[in-house]
Amino acid sequence: MKTGRASCIVTLSFLQLVLLSFVTSSAIAEDASGDKASDTAQKPNILYIMSDDHTSTGVGCYGSRLAYLNPTPNIDRIAKEGVRLANCFCTNSICTPSRATILSGQYSHTNGVYTLIQELPHRKHNLPRMIKAAGYETAMIGKWHLKVEPKTFDFYTVLPGQGWYHNPEFRMQGPKPWPKNTFRAHKHSSDAITDISLKWLKNRKQKDKPFFLMHHFKAPHDNFENAERYDFLYQDETIPEPESLRNRVNHGPDGREVYGTSVGKRNKRRRMGMHMFVDDSLEEDEYMTVAYQRYLKKFLRCVKGVDDNVGRLLKHLEDTGELDNTVIVYTADQGFMLGEHDYIDKRWMYEESLRMPFVMRYPAKFKAGTVNQDIINNVDFCPTLLELAGATDQIASLAPDQKLQGHSFVANLQGNTPDDWRTASYYRYWMHMAHHDNPAHFGVRTKDFKLIFFYGRKLDDSWFYSPQKVDTTEPYWELYDLKNDPNEMNNVINDPKYAATFNKLKNRIYELKVETGDTDQKFPEVKELFDTVLPMSMR
């Protein structure tokens, strides 16, 4: 009996062990499967919102002269609940090249998009391709401006070229070859683009995957055309002027006029009045006042439409419970001049054009209310988003012509800036005298100084719509002491006190040109000018 009982006990124990082993194995398998699924589920959604020409001056959280108007409460919310970059700079302040840099993670001279003319080859679409490979469903909606079909995305609906503000036409996927599948939305572009994004978010086909959505507004690109509901916004306001609108002091080329300074009595750069249909017979002072007020109010009305639609996107994420599991970025493709130094548009290496607004919300990684002071470039956006998407392993496998030149700043935003993080930003604008009398130039921007070399040469006829209209201009230098002159009112290039600073910064430009691969070997005349043209104080 004892033996039989013992045998029975052993048998039962063995069966229990087998059963336990089966249950445990199943549980482990389920856990493994669940972990794999949860890895995808734990990856955050990424909503990348970008407007066109929305300077940080027009974003409330940056505290500019326009902040009292509260122009961007929804964008400011992202900053308040997340992080804000205080020193984010573009590497080429013009729409198509900046967008190409963000998608490729490369400088203009590396990705091949120098100006508004070139296309970005599909093999250079590193950001959408690599995020898709990391398990994301991807979409591109709104202003694309890169000419080639955005077929590296799972879904796209984009404006053709610059697109229209009102009743815009869109290009989309369909049975016909690109770009023949089109439809028209009968409303303002900011509303239409958001409608399309919300529809995609609600009805997307791969809801088992996290999403990566690039939502690009056309607004507030010049010429500003706001939705009708904003026609009387700011009607009774007097928008404050920048000091440099009427007092240039010693800004610009030292000791001589800026290119294209006057056409009759009008500053040729003052396109505000031309764009806003200001009566040209007005006296100079009144003309400037009317032009500036009209220009700024139209700009801010477009900004209001952008911000309200950002609010719609945030509300959707709240309503669906996806807000905290979504990396939300708001930025612009570059900065924009709003009358500073009597300029409009972008292109310049001056602060208002060079600076990009950039705010990000993702509470799982970033502490609310963080302001980061590091020098960040748009070439860094791609690797940063790839790290947040868990796609960093793929970066090392990129072909040589696809290698990223930027660096992820995730650690920076967590208060752990790498010891070897950049202390200077390299910039280059290539479209010599193509628009707004902007000479081609390159330079360096450090924490305290900015040195710019205007080399004044057109380098390739194929880069321009009308190459016969592009003239050679006299090369010159500009140097600004940003610590003591943050508004760039005084070009100190010929002040002997800054001779050592000039030499140090010129050497830094050379180092950055080598580091980034922009050595001008193809353009020996520019290289020679850089080496031989000296400020008067150095001759």
pLDDT, one tens digit per residue, over 213-223 is: 999 999 999 98
Region 155-160 average pLDDT: 98
* Mean pLDDT, residues 27-36: 37
- Write out the two tokens for 26: 């199943």
* Six token digits for residue 299: 């700009």
Interval 448-500: pLDDT, tens: 999 999 999 999 888 877 766 667 899 999 999 999 999 999 999 999 999 99
pLDDT confidence band for 271 (50 / 70 / 90): low
- 104 to 98, 107, 270, 338, 386: CA distances (angstroms): 10, 8, 34, 29, 12
- C-alpha distances out from residue 45 to 63, 125, 213, 389, Å: 29, 19, 8, 8
Q: How far is CA 239 from CA 285, 334, 361, 523, in A?
A: 16, 23, 30, 45
Evaluate if residue 24 carries a pLDDT over 50: no
Count each helix (H run) and each strand (E run) in the chain, helices first.
Answer: 13, 20
Residue 442 clears pLDDT 80, i.e. is over it:
yes
**Residue 372: beta bridge partners?**
85
pTM comes to 0.91
- Examine the pLDDT at 421 and tell me if it is beyond 50: yes
> Does 258 score more than 70 pLDDT?
no
Span 290-305, average pLDDT: 97
Q: How is residue 194 written in tokens?
A: 């958001």
Distance from C-alpha of 101 to C-alpha of 22, rounded to nearest angstrom: 53
The pairing of beta strand 266-267 with beta strand 262-263:
antiparallel
- Other Cβ atoms less than 10 A from the Cβ of 498: the count is 20
- The whole-number average pLDDT for the span 288-300 is 95
**The pLDDT of residue 502 is above 70:** yes
pLDDT band at 31 (very low <50, low <70, confident <90, very high): very low
**pLDDT attached to residue 256:** 65
**Which whole number is the average pLDDT over 104-127?**
96
> From CA 388, how far away is CA 410, in angstroms rounded?
8
**Statement: residue 274 has pLDDT above 90:** no
**Interstrand relation of 449-454 and 441-446 (parallel, antiparallel or unpaired):** antiparallel
Q: How confident is the model at residue 359 (pLDDT cuts 50, 70, 90)?
A: very high
d(CA 219, CA 50): 10
Task: Give the model's pLDDT for residue 259.
Answer: 61
Mean pLDDT of the chain: 89
pLDDT band for position 9 (cuts 50, 70, 90): very low
- For the chain, give the number of residues: 539
High-pLDDT (> 90) share of the chain, %: 78
Share of the chain above pLDDT 70, in %: 88
**Domains annotated on the chain, with CATH:** 40-538 (3.40.720.10)
- Please compute the mean of the pLDDT values over residues 310-327 and round it to a whole number: 98
Candidates 301, 147, 176; CA nearest to 239 is 301
Q: How far apart are CA 414 and CA 366, in angstroms?
A: 6
